[in-house]
Amino acid sequence: MTHKPGIVITGASGRMGQMLIKTVLDSDKATLVGAVERGGHDWVGRDVGEAMGGVPLGVTVTDDALEAFSKAQAVIDFTAPEATLEFAALAAQARAVHVIGTTGMTDEQIAQLAPAARHAVIVRAGNMSLGVNLLVQLTKKVAAALDEDFDIEVIEAHHHHKVDAPSGTALMLGEAAAEGRGVKLADVSDRGRDGITGARKRGDIGFTAIRGGDIVGEHDVLFAGAGERIVLRHMATDRALFARGALKAALWGQDKSPGEYDMIDVLGL
Ligand SMILES: NC(=O)C1=CN([C@@H]2O[C@H](COP(=O)(O)OP(=O)(O)OC[C@H]3O[C@@H](n4cnc5c(N)ncnc54)[C@H](OP(=O)(O)O)[C@@H]3O)[C@@H](O)[C@H]2O)C=CC1
Ligand SMILES: O=C(O)C1=N[C@H](C(=O)O)C[C@H](O)C1
């Protein structure tokens, strides 16, 4: 019988946490060995299956992340930036693959992952879906093919619970467009237009964020020229998409050397 990697899910009660637990349970390639929530959360100490409203699974939700990680081969983490930094240090200590879906991390926070990546595999992406990662590559290609006569705008829409903007995916797409153009996103990024903004600056990459209802995640990259527009679009209709990608990353990382990777590496795009 082949060994199935043991997976711990952090932020177990969250929208993605619960989706990830279901995805691991449905998989014949991995086993759920832990579920983590923060201290004081009312799920701590309960069976995770029962907490989710189903049958007992024999996995008790814990707030002791290190103890849970030390029994696992991978940690899948869709939580919040401060929590993810703590989990990175603990996953490295346990030598577990750390799959990070958390968005809204600052450049400084991302840089703080480097010490952990010296000891363990980290796979981090603002979007774990095949479609978006393909869109990233297409965006780079189209941006490289067109000059600054085409204005680039990234437009994203998400549910009303989302706390960060622009979305992690929008930033990935903006980075790809900037890379295609051979510029740094930080030098051309235009975020949060309001009031008398002045005319659009040639070469800028603009971002717009829509928040409403239960939109899972939609992203357009618009290339607007004189007399024509090109739109590259991805629409997610089911969070299971992200969870499947994250599990794929956790399995992919099992035989890799310590370091930082992304979904382009995992998917071989
Ligand atoms: N990369 C990708 O493909 C995707 C990324 N995401 C990202 O995943 C993240 C989570 O999204 P979502 O599931 O919708 O959010 P939720 O708010 O539903 O869930 C977040 C979970 O993380 C926990 N958490 C938050 N802060 C901490 C902390 N400091 N310590 C411990 N646990 C903490 C929350 O616990 P509590 O309830 O106690 O606060 C909750 O269980 C977001 O950053 C989102 O953008 C989402 C979808 C796809
Ligand atoms: O918060 C979400 O829900 C999502 N977040 C990710 C992002 O910030 O891009 C990915 C997906 O769009 C859903």
Are residue 142 and residue 231 in the same domain, yes or no? yes
Domain assignment present for 66: yes
pLDDT at residue 42 in the model: 98
> How large is the average pLDDT for residues 213-230?
98
- What CATH number is given to the structural domain containing 197? 3.30.360.10
Proportion of the chain above pLDDT 90, given as a percent? 99
pLDDT tens digits, residue range 164-191? 999 999 999 999 999 999 999 999 999 9
Q: Which of 15, 16, 109, 172 to mutate to test the pocket of ligand 1 (most atoms within 8 A of CB)?
A: 16
Are residue 60 and residue 169 in the same domain, yes or no? no
pLDDT at residue 192 in the model: 86
Half-sphere exposure of 253 (CA within 13 A, CB side): 34
Alpha helices in 5-64 (DSSP H): 15-26, 48-51
- What CATH number is given to the structural domain containing 251? 3.40.50.720
Domain assignment present for 1: no
Domain assignment present for 60: yes
Ligand 1 cavity residues, CB under 6 Å: 11, 13-17, 38, 41, 78-80, 82-83, 101-104, 125-128, 168, 242
Are residue 64 and residue 152 in the same domain, yes or no? no
Residue 58: other Cβ atoms inside 10 A: 8
Is 162 catalytic? The answer is: yes
Q: Is the pLDDT of residue 1 over 60?
A: no
pLDDT at residue 193 in the model: 95
Domain span at residue 217 reads 130-236
> How large is the average pLDDT for residues 78-100?
98
| Stated pTM of the model | 0.98
pLDDT at residue 181 in the model: 98
pLDDT at residue 175 in the model: 98
pLDDT at residue 143 in the model: 98
Are residue 263 and residue 229 in the same domain, yes or no? no
pLDDT tens digits, residue range 8-21? 999 999 999 999 99
10 exposed, middle or buried (CB, 10 Å; 0-12, 13-18, 19+)?
buried
12 is in an annotated binding site: yes
- Span from the CA of 1 to the centroid of ligand 1 (angstroms): 35
pLDDT at residue 164 in the model: 98
Are residue 151 and residue 222 in the same domain, yes or no? yes
Confidence of residue 120 (pLDDT cuts 50, 70, 90): very high
d(CA 102, CA 246): 11
Q: What is the residue-averaged pLDDT of the chain?
A: 97
Are residue 185 and residue 96 in the same domain, yes or no? no
Confidence of residue 3 (pLDDT cuts 50, 70, 90): confident
Are residue 102 and residue 85 in the same domain, yes or no? yes
pLDDT at residue 11 in the model: 98
Domain assignment present for 121: yes
Specify the number of domains making up the chain: 2
Are residue 245 and residue 117 in the same domain, yes or no? yes
Confidence of residue 2 (pLDDT cuts 50, 70, 90): low
> How large is the average pLDDT for residues 234-260?
98
Ligand 2 within 6 A of CB of 162: yes
pLDDT tens digits, residue range 23-82? 999 999 999 999 999 999 999 999 999 999 999 999 999 999 999 999 999 999 999 999
Half-sphere exposure of 51 (CA within 13 A, CB side): 25
**Which member of 140, 158, 219, 234 is catalytic?**
158
Q: Which long-range contacts (CB under 8 A, 24 or more apart) does 240-244 make?
A: 240/19, 240/22, 240/23, 241/128, 241/129, 241/131, 242/16, 242/19, 242/78, 242/101, 242/127, 242/128, 242/129, 243/16, 243/19, 243/20, 243/22, 243/23, 243/128, 244/23, 244/128
114 is in an annotated binding site: no
pLDDT at residue 80 in the model: 98
d(CA 112, CA 172): 19
Domain assignment present for 159: yes
Are residue 90 and residue 166 in the same domain, yes or no? no
